[in-house]
Amino acid sequence: MFARRHQVALVLTAVLAAAADCQAHDHRSAARPGAPAPAADRDFTLVATGDVLPHTSVLERARFDAGGNGYDFRPMLDGVKPLVSGADLALCHLETAYGASDDPTGRPLVTSPPEIADALAATGYDGCSTASDHSLDDGAAGVRRTLDALDRAGVRHTGTARTEAEAASVTLLRAGPAKVAHLAYTYDTNGHPLPEGQPWAVNRIDENRVVADARTARAAGADVVVVSLHWGTEWQDAPDDFQFTLARALTASRTDGRPDIDLLLGAHAHVPQAYEKVNGTWVVYGLGDQVAGDLYNRQGLRDPRGNQSSAARFTFTAPTHPKGRWEVKKAAFVPQLFDIDAGRVVNLNKALAQGADVRGVRDRIRDVVLSRGAAEDGLAMGE
């Protein structure tokens, strides 16, 4: 068993190296000032991935990849770099707060070294949701440290804040011809109270608040409003009643006939969950963990689903009239695995093309993602 697993890990590592060598250049540089406009100037593509949750084994791998001097998370993300850097806008979900760089913890309180921010930037991420149940694992200092590190790396963020003014601001990102607002909220902070005098430090899920913030974002110039939600029941493949109810309410909210929210992205459950079009708007109930160590389910058993995820890829096209919405004209997902042995994120379709024995994992993720009929609305598995 060990030999077989080791063989697969070696094949996956080879796949990642090949993908890194042949990846296309980051075309987002073309959107910088003075550069030519993209050819499809009415469209943009958004990619979103799941929880970055670096447990102890992940930290140890990053330390090994750095040669024992600090932490280097870039190699473990090389496998997703072509997908991420190929999008007009790429969003991640950072579940942990940054602790002191020389003393991160993998669990139960999860803090991470700030080098993760550099890796996210190098991979091509433009922004990251930071509202999660672990946002306050290191208190207000952890929130500040996290956002400072992301700022230094040039990665935008939403969901937590250092000041009241920052909490009230709208995170607007450029995606080709469009302005995209990114909002983020969490169901809880694992019982950690909000810092004294800082009720705005972490955004908590509240239907009325989310709708109001979406409308504020639209008024600030957002063409597309994306909402990230840290929600759901851990280890449950199927979305729970709270997810269903909130998704229906948020996607039904409209102003002058136009939906207030254009995309919902879910995280937290540790396992991939379904995609579904609700009231004409795409909802990803759970992306799964993109980066995580060994995880144990509610029965105390190591559960490999905790290292499985999907990457969402949506292509939006501009409205044909001034008050119309940006519509998703193409929807896709990419099945992914965090290979613990290799310490790398793996695109499972590319791994299969290289001969890795991962078809069962790929197919399980596909079946869960499509379990609520998303294929009938045009969702396809991509590479």
The string over 281-291, giving b where at least 16 C-beta atoms fall within 10 Å of a residue's C-beta and e elsewhere, is bbbbbbbbbbb
Is pLDDT above 50 for 12? no
Whether the model pTM is above 0.75: yes
Nearest Cα residue to 256 out of 179, 172, 325, 329: 325
For residue 259, the model assigns a pLDDT of 98
User: What would the two tokens of residue 100 be?
Assistant: 């002191």
Burial class from Cβ neighbours inside 10 Å (0-12, 13-18, 19+) for residue 324 reads exposed
- CB-CB contact of 289 with 312 (8 Å): no
- pLDDT bin (cut points 50, 70, 90) of residue 250 is very high
The more confident residue out of 102 and 351 is: 351
The three-state DSSP-derived secondary structure of 282-315 is EEECCCEEEEECCCECCCCCECHHHHEEEEEEEE
Is pLDDT above 90 for 153? yes
Is pLDDT above 60 for 26? no
- CB-CB contact of 52 with 92 (8 Å): yes
The string over 347-370, giving b where at least 16 C-beta atoms fall within 10 Å of a residue's C-beta and e elsewhere, is bbbbbbeeebebeebbebbbebbb
184-238 pLDDT tens trace: 999 999 999 999 999 999 999 999 999 999 999 999 999 999 999 999 999 999 9
Distance CA(35)–CA(37), nearest Å, equals 7
SS3 143: helix
Q: What percent of the chain has pLDDT over 90?
A: 81
Distance CA(137)–CA(146), nearest Å, equals 12
Average the pLDDT over 155-159 and give the result. Answer: 98
The residue written with tokens 């987002």 in the block is: 28
236-247 pLDDT tens trace: 999 999 999 999
140-149 pLDDT tens trace: 999 999 999 9
Question: What are the CA-CA distances from residue 323 to residues 174, 218, 255, 257, 314 (Å)?
Answer: 20, 12, 11, 9, 21
Is pLDDT above 90 for 123? yes
Is pLDDT above 60 for 20? no
For residue 158, the model assigns a pLDDT of 98
**Among the listed ranges 278-282, 295-299, 345-349, which one has the minimum average pLDDT value?**
295-299
**Among the listed ranges 21-25, 206-210, 266-270, 282-286, which one has the minimum average pLDDT value?**
21-25
Helices (H) and strands (E) in the chain, counts: 11, 19
Q: Domain ranges for the chain, please list them.
A: 48-381
When the pLDDT of each residue in the chain is averaged and rounded to a whole number, the result is 89
The verdict on domain 48-381 having CATH code 3.60.21 is yes
Average the pLDDT over 310-314 and give the result. Answer: 98
